[in-house]
Copies of this chain bind each other. A is one copy, B any other.
Amino acid sequence: MDYFSGYISALVGQLSKLPGIGNKTAQRLAFHIMSMPKEQAHELADAIRDARENVRYCKTCCTLTDAEYCPVCSNPERDASTIMVVETARDLAAYEKTGRYSGVYHVLQGAISPMLGIGPDDIRLKELMQRLQGDVKEVIIATNSSLEGETTAMYLSKLIKPTGIKVTRIASGVPVGGDLEYIDEVTLLRALEGRTEL
């Protein structure tokens, strides 16, 4: 790539390290960045630096935030007796976007994966168990519907049930608007198993 200057190559190299950004896309982004007004390029660079510098984990739910407690945990109107357990801060964001969930969250920062060598001690499980010593009525397990997510859900339910706290799992089935024809068999079977009476 010596037909590009050192700075361009460096930028393309850095950008192509990002997930889902291949060399072509990195090149396109790099040239876009170089044609940006200077202030805009600086804003982008600063946003990256600031976010990385200032973001930490919420002391209660372990999501990414820039204060000691995240907006959800510090909101007194949220029902702290219902905890939804998710894998990542992005999953939290997805449920928050619905605007219908009034409980709080716990972000595990991952899922148990024997394949990748991620055990129960590698995710924020200890922090969750500590929270359960407070006034908690229900734990909703909303880990992904993947092998790792299901493993984590099973593990969690076995761990929490003895405490007497209600443990639930979000429903698995056909997505709204989903065309049965294009949905995988496992999901179809799950939808059948989880059928409810009308």
Question: Cβ of B28 and Cβ of A92 under 8 Å apart?
Answer: no
Q: Which residues of B contact A15 (CB under 8 A)?
A: 44, 47
Q: Which of B10, B32, B88 is the one whose CB lies under 8 Å from A18?
A: B32
A22 to chain B: closest CB distance in Å? Answer: 12
Copy number in the complex reads 2
Chain A, range 7-45, C-beta contacts under 8 Å to B: 7-8, 10-11, 13-15, 17-21, 25, 27-34, 36, 38, 40-45
Distance A21 CA – B38 CA, assembled complex (angstroms): 20
Instruction: Give the size category of A's interface with B.
Output: 35 or more
Question: Cβ of B32 and Cβ of A96 under 8 Å apart?
Answer: no
Question: Cβ of B71 and Cβ of A3 under 8 Å apart?
Answer: yes
Distance A47 CA – B15 CA, assembled complex (angstroms): 9
Distance A67 CA – B2 CA, assembled complex (angstroms): 13
Q: Which residues of B contact A32 (CB under 8 A)?
A: 18-19
Question: Cβ of B5 and Cβ of A71 under 8 Å apart?
Answer: yes
Q: Which residues of B contact A72 (CB under 8 A)?
A: 3
Query: Which of A11, A47, A88, A96 has its CB near the most chain B CB atoms (within 10 A)?
Result: A47
With A5-B64, A33-B52 already in contact, the answer to whether A20 and B28 are too (CB < 8 A) is yes
Closest residue of B by beta carbon distance from A52: B41
Distance A54 CA – B64 CA, assembled complex (angstroms): 34
Q: Which of B10, B28, B44, B67 is the one whose CB lies under 8 Å from A90?
A: B28
Q: Could you show 13 A-B contacts with beta carbons less than 8 Å apart?
A: A2-B71, A3-B93, A5-B54, A7-B51, A8-B51, A8-B65, A13-B47, A21-B29, A31-B88, A34-B64, A36-B52, A41-B48, A48-B48
